[in-house]
C-alpha cells in the first residue's frame, strides 16, 4: 500500500511538473546551479511518468550488474529481478 501511494504521488508530481515547466525550472535551477532557461529546456525533453520496468530493462540492468560483479566492483552477484517492484494484481 505504501509503495502504491508513493508511485501515485510521483505520478501527481510528474504531471504537475510537465504542466508547469517554467515553475519546475525555477525550482530546480537553484538546486542544480544552472540557469532556469537551461533547466526548462531539459525539463521539456524529460520523459515524465512512473512506469514498471520492462523485461528488456531488467535484462539490461542484470547484464550491467553481472559485469560489475565480474570486475569485483560488487562483492557478490545481485539478482535484479529480486529488487523489482511487482504490484499485487
Residue of 7 and 66 predicted with greater confidence: 66
At 34-83, the pLDDT tens digits run 999 999 999 999 888 877 788 999 999 999 999 999 999 999 999 999 99
Distances from the Cα of 23 to the Cα of 20, 85, 87, angstroms? 5, 31, 32
Whole-number Å distance between alpha carbons of 61 and 69: 12
User: Residue 23 above 70 pLDDT?
Assistant: yes
pTM, rounded to two decimals: 0.58
Whole-number Å distance between alpha carbons of 84 and 11: 18
Amino acid at each position: 500500500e505504501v509503495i502504491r501511494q508513493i508511485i501515485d504521488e510521483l505520478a501527481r508530481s510528474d504531471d504537475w511538473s510537465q504542466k508547469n515547466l517554467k515553475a519546475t525550472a525555477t525550482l530546480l535551477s537553484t538546486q542544480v546551479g544552472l540557469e532556469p532557461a537551461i533547466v526548462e529546456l531539459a525539463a521539456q525533453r524529460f520523459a515524465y511518468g512512473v512506469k514498471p520496468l520492462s523485461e528488456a530493462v531488467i535484462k539490461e540492468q542484470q547484464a550491467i550488474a553481472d559485469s560489475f560483479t565480474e570486475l569485483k566492483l560488487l562483492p557478490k552477484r545481485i539478482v535484479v529481478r529480486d529488487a523489482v517492484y511487482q504490484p499485487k494484481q
